[in-house]
Chain A
Amino acid sequence: MTSSNSLRLAIDGMRCAGCVAGVETALRGVPGVAEVNVNFAARTADVRGEAQVPALIAAVSKAGYRASEIIDEEAAESEKEAAELAHYRVLMRKSQFALAVAVPALAFGFPAMLGGNMPHALMQWGSPALAVLTLTVMLYSGPQFFIGAWKSLRNHTATMDTLIALGMAAAWGYSLTVTVAPRLFPAGTAEPFWDVIAVVIGLVVLGQALEMRARGRTSEAVKRLIGLKPKTARVVRDGQEIDIPLAEVRVNDTLRVRPGEKIPVDGELIEGHSLVDESMLTGEPMPVEKNVGAEVSGGTLNKSGTFLFRATRVGKDTALSRIVEMVRQAQGAKPAIGRMADTVSAWFVPAVLIVAVTTFVVWFDFGPEPRLNFAMIAAVTVLVIACPCALGLATPMSVMVGVGKAAEHGILIRNGDALQQAGQLTTVVLDKTGTVTMGKPAVTALIPAAGHDADGLLRLAASLEAGSEHPLAEAVLNAAKERGLALAPVQNFQAVAGHGVHGEIDGKHVRFGNYKFMEEHGIACDALHDQAQQSASRAETPMFLAADGMLAGIVAVADPIKPDSKTAIARLHALHIKVVMLTGDNAATAHAVAKQVGIDAVFAEVLPQDKDKQVAELIARGEKVGMVGDGINDAPALARADVGFAIGTGTDVAIESADVTLMSGSLHGVPNAIAISRATVRNIRQNLFGAFIYNVLGIPIAAGLLYPLFGLLLNPMIAGAAMAMSSVTVVSNAGRLRWFKP
């Protein structure tokens, strides 16, 4: 995808110096390559030239090695910042020069402004001097307007440059004519306006500089994400731990991370354990426990223990890099609301040119004397006040900040339409397993019968289940492991499908299974009947344990509800959104879960392939539907919904079917995304409204609409100031979104 004049490739598979020559030869053979430098120790190749990255990778691959591009995003980001700062300084210098020239120009215009006559000597010498000075302003401070206007004109397009260039050229030409040939004008009306040129160019360029500063803050979210990467990694090679630059870490490298350090790349923990703060990627504030086999993500912070992990994804393949790429893509997206502004923009500048011409003609034909002067001032003011930039900036600036804000909360928004539609949802459909619940059955209650204790009950159940392959067995075994219970050997183990298991433990005959299993073997369960009923009503599955024909207790297993599902659903209700649950589970369990978390309606026993039909039905009823699921089983339903939210596990960002990925796994991501969407769209509306109103009111006032009523005609310098400030206001208003808290 990316190509540049100089790039670095990571090369895998080089074993000796001979390989270096092989890789170099392969790369040199690619058309456009000017220079190749392969570093065997770092296993990298620096390539200069114009060659395309895919061609380079293919050439290396053909030679029997593997290559991938190394992108140092942090360096690229600092380079970008340095370039922006340099440009900012240039703009400030240009603005300062123009405003410095404005001082004598304004002083020159003062007598006329105060209604007096210009002293003859001043007019004779001052005006030509200012003609030269303002020409210098146009050539030094504002050549970009003239070059841009000319090139756009050749492309049959018109931009802000067109308006400024035309306005300034007209003002300068008119002022020069007045200076050189004052006799062409009625006596006492020959007034140049050199001040307008210097002030307008000075202020517009100043506005561009300020806008640039404010824009830098709109992409803070991406900068913060890029800044999460550590610069170095501690790799274990030949039994030695050495610090190497991050870019040199390869897949399958073993890396050590100490407490308080950032994890450099994605990988799998192979030794040790720790608590890891993943909040920077998932938005989830609680540190996550990591044991052997757990996945760790680059950019997250190791809190407590030291561990070793094996790198599984490096460079641009890490979750963090993919998140940065997704956020960047989404920041360039345009929601439907912004497309309307685009259509207006395309017509706007030529329309302003037409208004300016009309203004000139009307003032010249019907205006008071000195009418040529009035006509010229009014036309120039129209050109200068019109601000297509404010219109053009209104949407993208808010989208940049809104998408970044969402990313800060672990919400990845894939496109502009999702950003806009999330705020308009009327119904949110939740998948049950893995969305409302943890998606992993666990023992939720141990109810021992009289004469038994909870640990003893669990020990017997787990000992029996050790040989079972039932899905609920894992939950029982995990519970015993958590409590540190030692399992007992089981003799004569037997599983009865659909009922339970039985065997002999410590000389006792133990049965473990459902009520039917107990009933068939004449085991009385009356003593715990009420508890069993309550358990079922809580969406648990009660399993009975009997020892030597006597009930020993109940082990209740359930897919536990996520701790924050209930509050998240309450937040959705507070946003006036109906919440519906869709599940393949039986109705009793589904209703029990729904009741506990406050869900309004339940569709139970829905086959996976029918989930999207239910979503389609809700849409047909006029609802704006958001579907929340795990992104794998629910892919068709997610795609069918107006907005599909995929609940990720940790930092799984590769969920293609979803418009929005919630990385924390918490349902709070849904109300957060909706709140951010509403705030962003509100911000876009404010910006668009402001930009439209500014132009709709400003242009007629500039044209002199208020003159017949109040004798008011806008000064072009004030118009220039207003124009410069209007874009800065839009960008600053978008910047306010940075402080939004969902």
Chain B
Amino acid sequence: MSETIVTLGGIAAIAVIAWWFWLSKSKAEHVNAQQSIDIQVKDGVYQPAALEVPAGQALTLRFTRHDATPCAEKVVFGDLGISADLPLGKTQSVTLPPLNPGQYEFTCQMGMYRGRLVATQA
């Protein structure tokens, strides 16, 4: 009896893990290109971590790093070949060129901090 409960519980837990981490995504926050976007680098996450931005327009992201772990010291836009050092306790602006519609990830060097930009046609 207890085996059945544990087995069913295990299957349910696996289903929840797969759904939450792989199948569902957090909703991207919509922003205008005119505004510069503030992103906090804190507690292992970018806040906000998902942004919907207009395609075809340059935009500026302002990263403020609060996490002293060295993992957080660089932000890398792998698809765009752009990276920037984030000094602790300061705001660093990163200007991105106009983006084609699509999804662009930004991460720390190790890929633990993860964020994404979803560029959409206005």
Contacts and interface: CB of A to CB of B under 8 A. Distances in A.
A261 interface: no
A505 interface: no
A52 B36 contact: yes
A332 B92 contact: no
* Residue with the greatest number of chain B CB neighbours at <10 A, chosen from A80, A332, A349: A332
Contacts of B24: 156
Chain B at the A interface: mostly helix, strand, loop or mixed?
Answer: mixed
Q: For B18, B49, B111, which residue has the most chain A Cβ atoms within 10 angstroms?
A: B111
B111 A52 contact: no
A365 B7 contact: yes
A736 interface: no
Interface residues of A, number: 65
Interface string B14-30: 10011011101110000
Given A5-B91, A415-B81, A144 B14 contact: no
Interface string A149-171: 10111111111110000000000
A339 interface: yes
B109 A332 contact: yes
Interface residues of B, number: 51
A211 B112 CA distance: 16
B43 A151 contact: yes
Interface stretch (A98-106, A353-361, A425-433, A522-530): A353-361
Interface in B69-114: 69-70, 74, 76, 78, 81-85, 87-95, 107, 109-112, 114
Contacts of A147: 43-44
B33 to A, nearest CB: 15
Contact of A151 (B44, B84, B110): B44
A700 interface: no
A121 interface: no
A343 B4 CA distance: 35
A353 B24 CA distance: 17
B122 interface: no
A4 interface: yes
A396 B110 contact: yes
Interface in A1-35: 1-5
A353 B17 contact: yes
A646 B7 CA distance: 63
B82 to A, nearest CB: 8
A331 B95 CA distance: 18
Contacts of A388: 112
A613 to B, nearest CB: 27
Contacts of A53: 93
Contacts of A349: 21
B70 A84 contact: yes
A61 to B, nearest CB: 19
Contacts of A144: 43-44, 69
A83 B9 CA distance: 45
B10 A87 contact: no
Given A357-B13, A361-B10, A364-B3, A79 B87 contact: yes
A392 B18 contact: no
Given A3-B92, A76-B87, A158-B21, A152 B62 contact: no
A156 B111 contact: no
Given A152-B45, A361-B6, A392-B110, A332 B76 contact: yes
B14 A357 contact: yes
Interface in B35-51: 36, 43-45, 47, 49-50
Contact of A333 (B81, B84, B95): B81
B2 to A, nearest CB: 8
Contacts of B109: 332, 392-393, 396
A342 B6 contact: no
B68 interface: yes
Contacts of B95: 1
B90 A5 contact: yes
Interface in A394-441: 396, 415-416
Given A332-B74, A357-B14, A80 B43 contact: no
A342 B91 contact: no
Contacts of B114: 155, 157, 346
B21 A83 contact: no
B76 A152 contact: no
B42 to A, nearest CB: 8
A329 interface: yes
A347 B112 CA distance: 12
B112 A159 contact: yes
B79 to A, nearest CB: 10
B106 to A, nearest CB: 11
A212 B70 contact: yes
B44 A4 contact: no
B88 A332 contact: no
Contact of A350 (B18, B45, B74): B18
B10 A389 contact: no
A50 B62 CA distance: 11
Contacts of A230: none
Nearest to A208: B69
Contact of B43 (A5, A83, A148, A392): A148
Nearest to B25: A156
A738 B24 CA distance: 43
Contacts of B92: 2-4
A1 B58 CA distance: 13
Interface string A36-56: 000000000000001011000
Nearest to A375: B6
Contacts of B69: 87, 144, 208, 212
21 contacts: A3-B93, A4-B90, A50-B91, A52-B36, A144-B43, A144-B69, A148-B43, A148-B45, A151-B44, A151-B45, A152-B45, A153-B20, A331-B83, A332-B85, A332-B109, A333-B83, A350-B17, A354-B18, A365-B7, A393-B109, A393-B110
Given A154-B26, A211-B70, 4 more contacts: A52-B36, A212-B69, A342-B111, A358-B10
Closest 6 CB pairs of A and B: A332-B83, A392-B110, A148-B44, A361-B10, A87-B68, A396-B109
